[in-house]
Amino acid sequence: MRVLGIDPGSETLGWGVVEGSSANYSLVEFGTVKSKPSDAFSKRLFKAYTGVEELIAKFLPDVLSVEDTFVSINAKSALKIGQVRGVVLLLGEQKGIEIAEYAPRLIKQTVVGHGNAEKHQVAEMVRILLKLKTVPKPHDASDALAIAICHFHHTGMRNKIKTARK
């Protein structure tokens, strides 16, 4: 299975590709899609769309794993991130890719062990789990890798539950 993890952002969208199975996965590649803050928001949405579209064409993921929206102190930022998520989800549907959405606290709980983990803790656990020499940077990319890793862990658990029910 190949998973494209997406950390949606209107200026910096993090992405990470991880492949393998729930028990054994490894890094393929990671990075960001950056937009200029001075660009109109519609242009930034288009940049996110075309950037993720190129990633899908290049890496051919089986699953698009996306961080779910959370309510932040800044409602305007939350709305913008929600719109970026909408563009990414639409693209996944258009391409016929399985979509998985995970809440930020669940991602942190899964990867670090507690839902209130700091960004540096998430990045360090991503480094350890993917057996990397250094922490993936920027944090948008390490967050995207954490989102992909989260999917592997939850898919593995769902498969174990299905097997146990048979």
The answer to whether 17 and 148 have CB atoms below 8 angstroms apart is yes
Residue 67 is a catalytic residue: yes
pLDDT < 70: residue spans in the chain: 70-73, 156-166
Say what the pTM is: 0.92
Q: Are strands 98-102 and 25-34 parallel, antiparallel or unpaired?
A: unpaired
- Predicted local distance difference test score (pLDDT) of residue 160: 54
140 in catalytic set: yes
CB environment 73-96: b (16+ within 10 A), e (fewer):
eeeeeeebbebbbebbbebbeeee
pLDDT at 77: 82
Residue range 149-161, pLDDT digits in tens: 999 998 866 555 5
Taking only the tens place, the pLDDT of each residue in 108-136 is 999 999 988 999 999 999 999 999 999 99
What does the pLDDT read at residue 166?
A: 62
Architecture of domain 2-165 in CATH?
A: 2-Layer Sandwich (3.30)
At 73 the pLDDT is 64
pLDDT number for residue 165: 62
Of 67, 93, 98, 143, the active-site residue reads 67
- Position 23 scores a pLDDT of 81
Pair of tokens at residue 141: 């990319």
Q: How many contiguous H segments (helices) and E segments (strands) does the chain have?
A: 5, 5
Q: Active site residue: 39, 54, 140, 143, which one?
A: 140
